[in-house]
Structures are given as structure tokens and as C-alpha cells.
Structure 1
Amino acid sequence: MRVIEAFTAAYGSSPQTVWHAPGRVNLIGEHTDYNDGFVLPFAVPWGVTAAVTPRTDGTIRLLSLQSSGEPVTMATHADSKGWTRYVVGVLDMLGDRVAGADIAIDGDVPQGAGLSSSAALEVAVASAINDLHGLGMTPMEIALLGQKAENDFVGMPCGIMDQAASALCQEGHALFLDCRSLGSRNIPLDLAAHGLSMLIIDTQAHHEHAGGEYAKRRAECESAARKLGVAALRDVTDLAGALDQLQGDERKRTMHVVTENHRVEALIGLLRAGAVTEIGALLNASHLSLRDQYEVSSPELDVAVEAALRGGARGARMTGGGFGGSAIALVPVERLESVQESVSAAYAERGFQAPRYLPAIPAPGARRVA
């Protein structure tokens, strides 16, 4: 394993533990997590592997095979920047329970594709530290730790979905998560049995939503909830009445969140009934809502969805935070080539960078690999 080789070469000894945590793709339930709503992600085959040995002197030494390849040494947490903030943030949240570490990171999550490489990094490191120090954290507690690191240390106001998917998903399943109660269960997602494939279309329009737009959407939702007198938009039961009390962007954001929660529940009902081939209409409706009500799509995402449907996909939607990243398409196996040709042609016609196609196979969550 090359991360072990890199660790040994940099630090002079083998790591004491090695953990892998996956990225995720969200089947449905977008921008509902920080509104205490419902989500249905599944883990993807790509992720982050962390090789770790504890230290006792408070120093953190970090090495990433995707960075310069040279270790970065930090005497204080304030020294961190860039990708190192996600790792140092996890250690910072653990306080005096952890006195430094030597860490090597290797990752193969496609960068900027909206597949949550940051959550995979947080969960891999937190799982390794939990293992080394015998902290006894459950997978959900590890997910919450990663979220807190991203919220409080990195400054990204993300919900719990990404970290929970990375920590809790099972192979061949999607994870139904109630983001308020944190109750979860894995729902079988056997696409192949129905002659289907889930295709990730990486638009190559890489996003960076740690800036203003993501935080702005969250603030709009919180403001709308206050005006409606509810703890979160998840609590809106009379949508028509709620919309009568709101205007402008807050009205649109509320419409998306409430209807998206209903779509998650409807899609789970179809999966349980074995009607996997029928979920496409819900994916389409989710995309239209994200495009028109939540306004987080992009020209590249819209073209990918529209062209995939023309090429024979049963349903398609943007996935992830938006403003770029990836779309997913539910495609009959015999139509995969046609869908890819349709999207590629549409991109070429508009002068977009050629997209990348990735098979979305539901993979296992965080696990020790050495």
C-alpha cells in the first residue's frame, strides 16, 4: 500500500494504523441536511486513506501524496492552511485527548466533483485516531466530530450528511438519515438487479462553495424558519400557508426544502416496493427544484441533466452542494453509451470542457485497512 510506503519513508517507521473512508454521492435530499431534514446518500468506491501514528509532544506532521509529497510540520493548530485544516480541525476538536500525530494521506476522490473528499479526509483521520487512542467513538460520533471540525475550524457551515455517509454507509445500500434525530438505516440499492446503472457525470466545472453562496443559502433558510416560527424548515407542515408568509428568495428556498424532504420519503417508498425503475421522475423533480427554487445549479449541470435524459436516462439530477461538481443519471445498462455520447456532444457544442464519467457503485463506509 503506497500510503504505508510513503509514511515509512517520511517518518522512519511503519504507521500504527491505517483507515480508509469513502466519498459519497447523494441519491436525493439536497440542502436538506442543515434544515434538519432527510437525505439518502451512498458511499462511492473512491475515498481517502490515512496512515497514523500518535505523538506525545503536541506536534502534528502531515504528508499528502496528492500534495508536494513533503511532510508539513505544525507546532500549533494556527499553522494549518489549505487541505491541512481538515485534518488539524479533527485533532483540534479532540482537545487534550490527542497530543499530536504523524499522518500520511492518500486519496483518489475526484477533486472538485462534489463527491465530498473533505468529509472522507475528516472521517478517515478521526477513525484512525479513535482506533489508536481507544476513544470508543461510534461511527455517528466520528461523523459529528468531522462536521464540527468543518463547521468550527474550517469555517464551512455544512450539515451532517457527508460525514455520516462516509462513516455509516454499507456496501450495496443507500443511507437514509434523519438529520435531526440522527437516526439512520441502510436501504438496499441493487440497481444491477433491475438492469440499471447510476452514472456520475463530472462536469469538470469544479466548485468551491466554502465561500459565500452556500452560507447564504443556509442563512436564508434559517431566516425563513424564524419568520415561520419553526425550529427548522423540516417542521413546515402547511407549505401553502408558509409560502404565503414569505417573499423572494426565502420563499423559494422553503419550497425546495419542504418538497425535497417529501421526495426523499417517496423515493424510499419506491425502493422498498422494488420499484427501482420508477425513481427517475423524483430525480428529475429534485433537479428542477434545485435549479429554479434553490438556485444552486450551473449551465454545465443543467446541460448534463438535459442531455442525459435525451440520451435515454430514466432520471437525472445535480448532486452535491452545486455551483459545479457532478450530476447523476439513472441509466438502463444498454443505454450507458448513448447517454455518454449525448452528454459529450452537448458539451462539445457549447464549448464546455469534456465531462468525465464515473460508475456510482454503492460502497462500504469507513474501515480499517491495515
Structure 2
Amino acid sequence: MSKFVEVFGAEPDGVWRAPGRVNLIGEHTDYNDGLVLPIALPNQITITGSARTDGVVVVATAGQDGIISFDLDSLSPGSVGDWAAYPAGAAWVLREAQYEIGGANLLVESDLPSGAGLSSSAALLCATAVALLGLRDISVDPAEVARLAQRAENQYVGAPVGLMDQMASMCCTAGHALYFDIRAMSTDQIPFDPAADGLALLVVDVKAPHRHVDGEYAARRQSCEQAAAELGVPALRSIAFEDLDDALSRLSDDVVRRRVRHVVTEIRRVEEAVALMRAGRLRDVGPLFTASHASLRDDFEITVPELDVAVDTALAAGALGARMTGGGFGGCIIALVESSEAPAILTAIEKAFAENTFPTPTSLDATPSPGASRIS
């Protein structure tokens, strides 16, 4: 007997999925109208669903989170809390956008590690949205679903997130990275298939607890906005790389200068990475990863010892490049490595963590995968 039948007592009408993601490069440029380059992971949130006729959504998980139900007509921001705020937020935003969704039974399953910075919240919002739409045979452009999912997280859940995670979850394709220009709201699929070149992209969860995240994120955003105001530009994206030194000389605060330097140089690294990928020179992207990590560590100051040790160890063990990925203060690193060297590099990281009495890290496959879709 399937888990869905066990919980809801009937066969489902369909199954939908939405993946997590990692950002190859472009970290913390998203609220500066920047450029980002994520891939979707094979790890995903899967929702098995059936339609109801009473306007009630019942959400269950395959884990221990219990069963939550809510009436579509009574949804408002804050009316459903905890983990269920995400499926409730997806239902709320679809109704606000005038999509004629109805009640549903939804079973949520996931193989995305929580707390690893792999965008499980965006995946849950997107998976719920595509399931609720799919149950009513409503077709919506993937980018529009991404924008709705962002709105749900901003306005219903109350998290001031950007659009990268949702766009990656909805719009990525297999064997490609998603080149997302946030200012232009344009995307391009950039060939990125490490395995075809004898390479692997390792994602290592360092198991570090996120420390003072909310205040730190807000402080960095405030610094970037302060710098833009002082320089008279709408966002730091408006500062050309060639004009960076001049812009830095006009700022009096050293911390603000370092934040600006990270954003402007990170945008430049995205452009360079895209050019290398288009030319089929994937190995040459590695040093850009490493330069990105140094900038995130020294200028943006969002790494922690576990992330730095993992990156330094991977590089010493032969990685072509490595960097933290995600919001920082914990989470994961990514490392571009020769496929044949991946096991030895992982072993070296595990050994280094043991020597530093850090928690045992875990790794997962980072094959560039497709975005959200119906499975059956």
C-alpha cells in the first residue's frame, strides 16, 4: 500500500516534483539586481495529490510533522504557521492571482537535507503550486509560478527572499546552468555537464549550525543599500567593474567598501564563468569558484570555520575550485573536481573535520537536473 493511500484512503490523481538548487556563482548579488548562475539538483520535494470538492487542503508529510488542514476561503498571511505555512502560502498566492484551484489532499516527501542551504523552502512552495495547478489542469508559465512562489514567501511566510531559488526550481534544465539576469528578468540556459568532461561537482553539507543569520543578512543588505545611496546608483549592479576603484574611493566606511567590492567582483565572475562554459572550458571555471569563496570570506564575511576548512581541504586535495554556496553562516560548499579524484577529496574533508572536531559532513550528487514537473 502506498503512503498516500495509507494516509488518505484513496488513490492519488497525480505526482509533482520541484528540485532544490545550488548556486554555482553569483552569491549575494540577487538583491543588487545582479547575475546568478544556479543549477537544479536531482534532490527534490515530491507531492502526491488528489482533488477535493470541499475547498479544504489537507497536507501530510512522510516524516513526523503530522497532518495540517486549512480552508482556502479563510487563508490570509499568518493564518497557518510552521512548515505548513509554505503549502498554505502557495495556495494563498494562487488564489490571490485568481487561479481557480480547489481543495486537495497533498502528501509531501523530500530527499533534500533541511538546513543545508539548498532551497528546500522554495522547492516546497514550487512543488505545492505546480501540484495545485496540475490537479485542476491549469497551465502557467514556469517563470510566473516562480514569481508567485517568491511572493508567497515574501508576503505569506514573511521571508524577504529574492527570486533566484524559485527560478532555479522552476526553470532549470538538465545539463545546464541557469544564467539569470535579475535586472533584465531574462534567462539563458548555459551548457554545464561536468560528467561529460570527466568532472564532478561535489556538494558537501558541513553540518554547521546557522549562526545569527537573520541579523547578519539584514546588515549586509543594509550596507549594500547604504553604499548605493552614497554612490547615487539604484543598485550596486550599476557600478561597472572598470569603475570599481573609483567607487570604492568615494566610500568612507571600510566595511561598506568591502561589501561593495564583493558584489561588483562577484557579478564579474559570473560573466567570466558564463563565457568559459560557453567555450567548453569547464576546468577553467574552478579558479573563479575559489576567488568567489575568498571574496565571501574576506569582503562579505559570511563564511564560518567549517566552510573554510572544507574549501581549503578540497583545494589542497586537488579540487579545481571550491566555494561556499547559499546564504552563508553554515550550509554547503561546492567543489569542481576530476571525477576520479572525488572519493579522495571527500575522504580528505572527512578527515579534516574529524581533526577539528566538527560534525561529520555529508555529500550529495550535483548533476545539473530539470526544474519542476509532473511525474505521473
- Superposition pairs of residues 2-17 of structure 1, within 5 angstroms: 5-17=2-14
**Alignment check: 8 A CA contact 1:198 1:328 kept:** yes
**Which deviates more, 130-139 or 335-344?**
130-139
- 1:52 and 2:25 are equivalent in the alignment: no
Structure 1 letter corresponding to 2:285: I
- 1:175 and 2:178 are equivalent in the alignment: yes
- Superposition pairs of residues 195-344 of structure 1, within 5 angstroms: 195-207=198-210, 211-237=214-240, 238-246=243-251, 247-344=253-350
**Alignment check: 8 A CA contact 2:47 2:108 kept:** yes
- Superposition pairs of residues 130-141 of structure 1, within 5 angstroms: 130-141=133-144
Alpha-carbon distance between aligned partners in 2 of 1:229 and 1:58, rounded to the nearest angstrom: 50
Name the SS for the 1:126 alignment partner: helix
Alpha-carbon distance between aligned partners in 1 of 2:343 and 2:50, rounded to the nearest angstrom: 46
| Cα displacement string for residues 235-278 of structure 1 (whole angstroms, at most 9, x for unaligned residues) | 11221222123223322221111110100010111111121111
CA RMSD of aligned residues (A): 1.9
**Alignment check: 8 A CA contact 1:209 1:321 kept:** no
Q: In the alignment, which of 57, 62, 76 is matched to residue 65 of structure 1?
A: 62
| Cα displacement string for residues 316-342 of structure 1 (whole angstroms, at most 9, x for unaligned residues) | 000011110100111112221221122
Tell me: CA distance 1:7–1:216, structure 2 relative to 1, closer, same or farther (3 Å).
farther
Q: Deviation of residue 201 (structure 1)? A: 1.1
So what's the TM-score if we normalise by structure 2?
Answer: 0.92
Name the SS for the 1:211 alignment partner: helix
Q: Deviation of residue 171 (structure 1)? A: 0.8
Alpha-carbon distance between aligned partners in 2 of 1:83 and 1:220, rounded to the nearest angstrom: 31
% identity of equivalent residues: 47
Q: Deviation of residue 204 (structure 1)? A: 1.1
**Which deviates more, 215-224 or 301-310?**
215-224
What 5-or-longer segments of structure 2 have no aligned partner? none
Structure 1 letter corresponding to 2:161: C
Q: In the alignment, which of 182, 192, 195 is matched to residue 195 of structure 2?
A: 192
Aligned position for 1:126: 129
Q: Deviation of residue 178 (structure 1)? A: 0.6
**Which deviates more, 337-346 or 23-32?**
337-346
Q: Deviation of residue 131 (structure 1)? A: 2.2
- The count of corresponding residues between Structure 1 and Structure 2 is 366
